[in-house]
C-alpha cells in the first residue's frame, strides 16, 4: 500500500514509514509566530528554558502582519517585543509592511517536503507547495522553537480528485468555498485534505494557495497539493528554483474518504454571515439584493498578484459605486511592487480603491477597516464569524476577488461574469 502526501512527507521527516493515527515527533523546518501570538510564545519559551532562545534562528520566523502599522500603543509594545526577541535570539523578523507570514513563507523559506508550524491557524496555506504546514497554539510553537521538533497525530487523508478546468469568471476561491459548503466546517476535522487529479495542473500556484489556506475552515490539519511544474515555476520566480523537488502521493495510497470534483461545474459563490460554510450561488445573492458598504480584496486568502490582477481587470475604466468603499491589501511587498509596476495598482486607485499596507488588513478586527453598526462587508478573506471585523453588529460575506470587484462597482453583491 502506498502513501498519501501527508504520510509521505511525515515518513521522510521521521525517518520511517508512518501510518494514520499514530503519534510521531517530527523535526520542523520552520516555526512561525506573528505579532498577536508571538508575545505569549516568548513567555512560554521563558517558562520552558528560563531564557529567550531558539533551536536555529534561521528556522524561526517572526512577522508583524496583524497589527502593523500599529493603531495603538499597547499593540506597538507587542511589536517591540517581537523586535527584541529577534535581536536577542537572531530569529528572522519581517516587520511592518513586508507582508503576511504565510505569503512570506511561500516566497522565501518553504520548500516541498518541509514540515512547517505556525502560531496562526492559516499556516496551512503553504500546503500548496507540498509542505506539511499547520497552525498550532503559542505553547506548541514555543516547544517547536526551542526543541526544533513537535508532535503530530498522523492524519487520515481526505482526497479531492479535481477534473477539468474552472469556467471563466470562476476562481479557486469559489472552489474551496463550494467544498466547505458541501462538507461543512468540521467536514475534514483532524484530517489532511489532499488535492489531486488532472484538474490540479489547471490551477496556478496563486490559485492553489487560496485552496490550501482555507483547509482550516473545513477543520483540516493540512491542505496539500503535489509539488509539480507550477510549484517549480513559482520557486524559480522567487529565486529558489534549486530548492524545488517533485512530490506526489502514491497511486495506491489509502484514503479515509474521496471526492471527485468536476471543476467545470463550479460556479461563483458567496458565504453568507456568520459561517464560511453558509455558501450560496452568487446568482442567489444577486437576487437577494445585498448592498455592500465595504469591499475588501486582500488577506492571506486572496491578496496575491493574480487576485489583484483579476480585480484590476474588472475595475479598469470603471468606478467603485458611491457609498461603497473598496479596500485593497497586497499580501506582501513583493506582490505590491509587481502590482505597481504592471499598472494594477494604478487601475485600482483610478477606480476608487484605497490601497493599504501589505498586511492582514481589517480581517483581524482591530484596524484598517473596522465595520460600523449594521454595516455589510464583502471580503476575499477566509472568515465571516460574528464580530470578526471588529463589530458584532455587522455582516460579513465572503467571495472571490472577481466577485468583490464586480460588487464594488455595483455597490451590491454582483456576478463577476457580467464584467468579463
Q: Binding residues for other proteins, per CB under 8 A?
A: 23, 25, 36-37, 39-40, 44, 47-48, 66-67, 72, 74-75, 77-78, 118-121, 135-140, 142-143, 147, 149-151, 153, 185-186, 189-190, 219, 221, 275, 364-366, 370, 383, 385-388, 390-392
Query: CB neighbours (10 Å) of residue 233?
Result: 14
> Which of residues 78 and 132 has its CB atom nearest to other proteins in the complex?
78
Q: Which lies closer to other proteins via its Cβ, residue 159 or residue 367? A: 367
402: preceding bond cis by omega (within 30 degrees): no
Calpha distance 309→314 (Å, rounded): 9
Write the CB contacts of 72 (distance below 8 Å, at least 6 apart in sequence): none
Considering beta carbons, is residue 67 or 359 the nearer one to other proteins? 67
Q: What is the 3-state secondary structure (H, E, C) of 49-72?
A: HCCCCCCCHHHEEEECCCCCCCCC
Residue 29 CA from chain centroid, whole number: 19
* CB of residue 32 to other proteins, shortest distance in Å: 11
Give the whole-angstrom CA distance, residue 264 versus residue 137. 38
Contact 247, 396 (CB under 8 A): no
**Widest pairwise Cα distance in the chain:** 61
Indicate the SS3 state at residue 22. coil
CB closer to other proteins, 139 vs 342:
139
Q: How far is the CB of 220 from other proteins (least distance, A)?
A: 9
By beta-carbon proximity to other proteins, the closer residue of 63 and 138 is: 138
CA 214, 298, 77, 30 dihedral sign is positive
Report, in Å, the least distance between residue 218 CB and other proteins.
Answer: 10
Nearest distance from C-beta of residue 275 to other proteins, angstroms: 7
Complex with other proteins: residue 171 or 395, whichever CB lies closer:
395
Nearest approach, Cβ of 98 to other proteins (angstroms)? 20
Q: How far is CA 245 from CA 13, 228, 230, in A?
A: 15, 8, 11
Work out how close the CB of 350 gets to other proteins at its nearest, in angstroms, rounded to a whole number: 32
Q: Which three cell numbers stand for residue 118?
A: 505556525
| Minimum distance of other proteins from residue 185's CB (angstroms) | 6
**In this structure, what C-alpha cell is assigned to residue 123?**
499556516
94 vs 221 by CB, closer to other proteins: 221
Amino acid at each position: 500500500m502506498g502513501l498519501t502526501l501527508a504520510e509521505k512527507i511525515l515518513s521522510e521527516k521521521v525517518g520511517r514509514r508512518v501510518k494514520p493515527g499514530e503519534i510521531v515527533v517530527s523535526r520542523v523546518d520552520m516555526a512561525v509566530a506573528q505579532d498577536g501570538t508571538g508575545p505569549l510564545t516568548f513567555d512560554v519559551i521563558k517558562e520552558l528554558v528560563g531564557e529567550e532562545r531558539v533551536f536555529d534562528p534561521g528556522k524561526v520566523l517572526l512577522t508583524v502582519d496583524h497589527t502593523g502599522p500599529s493603531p495603538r500603543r499597547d499593540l506597538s509594545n507587542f511589536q517591540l517585543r517581537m523586535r527584541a526577541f529577534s535581536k536577542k535570539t537572531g530569529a528572522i523578523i519581517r516587520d511592518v509592511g513586508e507582508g503576511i507570514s504565510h505569503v512570506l513563507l511561500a516566497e522565501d523559506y518553504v520548500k516541498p517536503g518541509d514540515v512547517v508550524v505556525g502560531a496562526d491557524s492559516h499556516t496551512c496555506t503553504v500546503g500548496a507547495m507540498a509542505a506539511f504546514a499547520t497552525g498550532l497554539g503559542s505553547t506548541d510553537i514555543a516547544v517547536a522553537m526551542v526543541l526544533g521538533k513537535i508532535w503530530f497525530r498522523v492524519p487520515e487523508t481526505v482526497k479531492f480528485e479535481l477534473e477539468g478546468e474552472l469556467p471563466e469568471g470562476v476562481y479557486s476561491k469559489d472552489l474551496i468555498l463550494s467544498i466547505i459548503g458541501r462538507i461543512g466546517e468540521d467536514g475534514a476535522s483532524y484530517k489532511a485534505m489532499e488535492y489531486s487529479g488532472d484538474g490540479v495542473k489547471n490551477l496556478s500556484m496563486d490559485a492553489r494557495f487560496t485552496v490550501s489556506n482555507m483547509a482550516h475552515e473545513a477543520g483540516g490539519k493540512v491542505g496539500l497539493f503535489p509539488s509539480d511544474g507550477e510549484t517549480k515555476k513559482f520557486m524559480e520566480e522567487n529565486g529558489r528554483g534549486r530548492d524545488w523537488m517533485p512530490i506526489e502521493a502514491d497511486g495506491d495510497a489509502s484514503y479515509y474518504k474521496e471526492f471527485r470534483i468536476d471543476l467545470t461545474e463550479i460556479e461563483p459563490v458567496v458565504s453568507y454571515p456568520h459561517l464560511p460554510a453558509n455558501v450560496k450561488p452568487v446568482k442567489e445573492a444577486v437576487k437577494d439584493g445585498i448592498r455592500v458598504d465595504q469591499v475588501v480584496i486582500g488577506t492571506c486568502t486572496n491578496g496575491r498578484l493574480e487576485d489583484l490582477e483579476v480585480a484590476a481587470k474588472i475595475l479598469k475604466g470603471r468606478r467603485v459605486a458611491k457609498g461603497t468603499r473598496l479596500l485593497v491589501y497586497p499580501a506582501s511587498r513583493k506582490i505590491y511592487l509587481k502590482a505597481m509596476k504592471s499598472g494594477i495598482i494604478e487601475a485600482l486607485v483610478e477606480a476608487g480603491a484605497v490601497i493599504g499596507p501589505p498586511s492582514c488588513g481589517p480581517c483581524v478586527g482591530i484596524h484598517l477597516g473596522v465595520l460600523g453598526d449594521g454595516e455589510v462587508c464583502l471580503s476575499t478573506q477566509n472568515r465571516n464569524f460574528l464580530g470578526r471585523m471588529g463589530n458584532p453588529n455587522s455582516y460579513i460575506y465572503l467571495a472571490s476577488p472577481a466577485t468583490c470587484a464586480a460588487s464594488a462597482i455595483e455597490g451590491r453583491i454582483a456576478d463577476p461574469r457580467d464584467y468579463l
